[in-house]
Amino acid sequence: MKLHWSPRSPFVRKVMVAAHELGLADRIGTVRTVVGMEQINDALLADNPLNKIPTLVLDDGRAIFDSLVICEYLDEMAGGALFAGDKWEVLTRHALLNGLLDLLILFRHERTREKPAARILFAFGCKTQSALGALRLPPAGRLDIGDITLAVALSYLDFRFDDIDWRGARPELATWHAAFCERPSMVATTVVDA
């Protein structure tokens, strides 16, 4: 399998953390694929006309996306339990956390515009705080797709939003996140800047 990959995409990281947890990481060949809201990658378009990563290409040439579908595919391949539990609770919790990541990507993009719109920045800040406030501490002794997405989202906050002090408001989440970041899957997918 080939994965259109980039080290700083949190959606790619979600897939790679899942792959490591499922024992499938060494079966995935990663291809550095640079994309952006304003940056079209012609080599990617043939596999994903939306120009988005992660995109998984199977050995028979079929492409699978988005990150949720890839994670479900890998989980089924490995006979994993990343989607175990009450289906609607698992999928809605994932949608909340994945939606937070979508929001953060747009938030960062707005911040780096030449002329950010104050009303958009304000609304994005409100939604980020609302989502952070709703995050529940995962139960101990299990790991699912929501936990992975939560850990990746919090690490992305650290990486791109060092002005948002989520730890101050949620010390119990900070403790959970610190422990989660010691997992080999998280260590293996940490960006180390040269």
**Residue 113-152 contact track with its own copies, rule CB under 8 A, x = bound:** xxx-x-xx-xx--xx--xx-xx------------------
| Beta carbons within 10 angstroms of residue 3's beta carbon | 20
Q: Which residues pair with 29 in a beta bridge?
A: 2
**Residue 18-37 contact track with its own copies, rule CB under 8 A, x = bound:** -------------------x
Check residue 190 for interaction with its own copies (CB under 8 A).
no
Identify the residue among 26, 38, 59, 162 touching its own copies (CB under 8 A). 38
In the bound state with its own copies, the residue whose beta carbon lies nearer, of 92 and 175, is 92
Identify the residue among 34, 43, 69, 84 touching its own copies (CB under 8 A). 69
Backbone angles phi, psi at 95, to 5 degrees: -65, -35
> From the CB of 191, what's the least distance to its own copies, in Å?
24
Q: In whole angstroms, what is the distance from residue 59 CA to residue 81 CA?
A: 24
Q: Which run of H or E residues covers position 64? A: strand 63-64
How far is CA 127 from each of CA 10, 76, 106, 120, 124, rounded to the nearest angstrom? 19, 33, 12, 11, 5
Identify the residue among 1, 2, 30, 63 touching its own copies (CB under 8 A). 63
Check residue 112 for interaction with its own copies (CB under 8 A).
no
> From the CB of 117, what's the least distance to its own copies, in Å?
7
Check residue 166 for interaction with its own copies (CB under 8 A).
no
Nearest one of 176, 145, 154 to 104, comparing CA atoms: 154
In the bound state with its own copies, the residue whose beta carbon lies nearer, of 25 and 71, is 71
Check residue 1 for interaction with its own copies (CB under 8 A).
no
Q: In whole angstroms, what is the distance from residue 63 CA to residue 56 CA?
A: 6
Question: How buried is residue 90: exposed, middle or buried, by Cβ count under 10 Å (0-12/13-18/19+)?
Answer: middle
How far is CA 35 from each of CA 15, 61, 149, 155, 193, rounded to the nearest angstrom? 17, 21, 21, 21, 19
Binding positions for its own copies, rule: CB under 8 A: 37-40, 45, 48-52, 62-66, 68-69, 72-73, 88-89, 91-92, 95-96, 99-100, 103, 106, 113-115, 117, 119-120, 122-123, 126-127, 130-131, 133-134
